[in-house]
Amino acid sequence: MAATPAHPASDNAPHVPATPLHDLMYGHIYASALRAVVLHGIADHLADGPLSAGELAARSGTQAGPLHRVLRLLAMRGLFRTDPDGAFGLTEGSEALRTGVPGSRRDAVLLFTDAMYGRSAAGLEDTLRTGEPGFEAAYGTPFFEHLAGTPDAGRLFDTAMSSLTGGVNEQIAGSYVFPDGGTVVDVAGGRGGLLRAVLSRSPGLTGVLFDRPGTVTDHLLDTAELAGRWRTEGGDLFTAVPEGGDLYLLKNILHDWPDEDCLRILATVRRAMTPGTRLLVIDAVLPADGSPHPAVPLDIVMLMVLRGRERTAAEFEELLTRSGFMVRRVLPTPSLTSVVEAEAV
C-alpha cells in the first residue's frame, strides 16, 4: 500500500505565463467580469477594508462562490488584492471603481462595457470589409443621434466623459499659458470640466460653455469661485458657435469625426473668429512613425462606433490649414492628449 502523503497535493510549480495572444483572446471575459463587479458595487463594499467573498456576497446580494471566482480573476490583473486569509481588498485600480470618489472611473467602465460598444465591436469583421461603423449596423442610426434620442444612454455618455477627464482637465489647464483676460469659448465642451479648470487658474478670464442644450443644462460651473464669470449656450457646432471669443477650445471633438465633418466644424468655428484669434485643438496626437501610443486603442473605438479617427500632427495641420488657420505649435500634456495651437488667418 502506498504511503499517505504528509501534506495535501499542491501545484506550485511555475507555469508558462499567458501570452499576449492568450490575453487578447480572453479580453471580453475580463471586461465582462469588470462590469459585473461595478454593477454590484463590490468596490464600494470594500471601502472600509477587506472582506471575504462570503461577507461581500451577503452585502451585495450575490453568490459567494461565483463572486470569489470573478474576484480571483480580476486579482490576477492587480485590480483587487487577496489577503493571506483569503479576504479581498482594494488596490489603486479598484479604488477608482468606487462611486463618487475623486478620480472615479466607475461611469467610464459602465460606458465602455455597455452593449453599445459590445455590439459595435462584434461588427468589426464587417467594418473591415465595408468601412462602416459597427454601431450604425447594430442600431440603425449614428452614435450621437442615438444618444440624443435615448436619454439613459446620453446621460451615461456625459457622466462617463466627465469621469474620464476630471484630472485630465487640470493637466491640460496647467500645460498651456492662458491669457490673463478676455473670453474663452469651450466649443462642444460637455459639462464644462475643462472650462472650469481654465477659469479657476486664470481669474481674469470669463468663459462660454457651448454644447447641446441638454448637456449644458447639467454643467459643472456653478461654484462660488466662478460666480459671474461664465455663461452657457446651447446649439449645434455644425451650424454656429458663439462669436466674439478671444480663445476657442475644441477638446476631444475632431477625433469623433471624419475629415469632411472636421472641415465643417472648423469652418463654423473660423466664422465666429477674427484674424489673430487662437484656437486650441486638444486631442491625442499620434506619432508619425507609427510607434506605440496609448490612444491607438481609442482609434479603434472611433472605427467601431463613429466615423472619426486619431490623427498625427501633420493630419491636424492639413485640416486646420484648409480651414483658415495656421498651426503655431503642438504642446504635449501629462495626459493622453496634446494641445495643437492654431491662429485664425
Catalytic center residues? 255
Q: List, in sequence order, the alpha helices (H) in the chain.
A: 20-25, 27-39, 42-45, 53-60, 64-75, 92-95, 106-112, 115-122, 124-130, 134-139, 143-149, 151-173, 193-201, 213-216, 259-271, 296-305, 313-322
Q: Tell me the three cell numbers of residue 148.
A: 440624443
* Largest Cα–Cα separation, the chain: 95
- Of 284, 285, 282, 280, nearest to 343 by C-alpha is 280
With b meaning 16 or more CB within 10 Å and e meaning fewer, what string describes 286-295? Answer: beeeeeebeb
Q: Tell me the three cell numbers of residue 266.
A: 472648423
- Of 23, 21, 41, nearest to 109 by C-alpha is 41
Cβ atoms < 10 Å from Cβ of 86 = 12
